[in-house]
Structure 1
């Protein structure tokens, strides 16, 4: 990947609906080579897809919760089952495997505290092999970036 590819990716991350003509102009290419590069980035899996960014609050899920989960055991079976169950949980937007005390960090969205309680009681606590659940509520956002930084 070169600087032009990174410039294309940056612009697409800022506006995934940008026309090829406008994208080509922003990255100093003619339209045909620009479109060819975008297609190559898609084929190589660097561009995984396109999506709409939705406002959580206006959607009705204004509360973001970070949940640290520690497992009782770490066998391949336990880990696989936990990861499958978390992947199926609709309120979990992201799940990271962590170093340190917690094994996983979940980013969860809910409509209110009652909804979070329901999520814990009916989703998390029903999963096997969870040793602990530690919760932090986000009460503000300082920065949320959609574009990866240029590295070249």
Structure 2
């Protein structure tokens, strides 16, 4: 009886700690890099365990904003002991203040290794019709990656 009580208390403690770890992970931004070429900016976000339908990408006031709502898969024959992975994750990357980009030409690609790549093409400073300052908040949908491209990335 005392042993069963101890196991029950232990299970509750482990689950509570796991939920606290998940909540703290949800408070931390997704790790991200910003790269620049002559033609575009490339924002890279670490988003492991995410499906392309779980990703939302927005561009707002010179910032790439990412929201990920991932799910835990059910594994037949297993029960959750330590729910330590955050499910709702956010990230953001600020473009340089002088960046002029074509938000409507942006693409978001989710690689098999869990990296979300958001590419935003640059435009000439004189092409004001497509500059970031004239674009409204645009949403991009992440597309899946095929195996050949993922192999090249790894």
Higher strand proportion, which one?
2
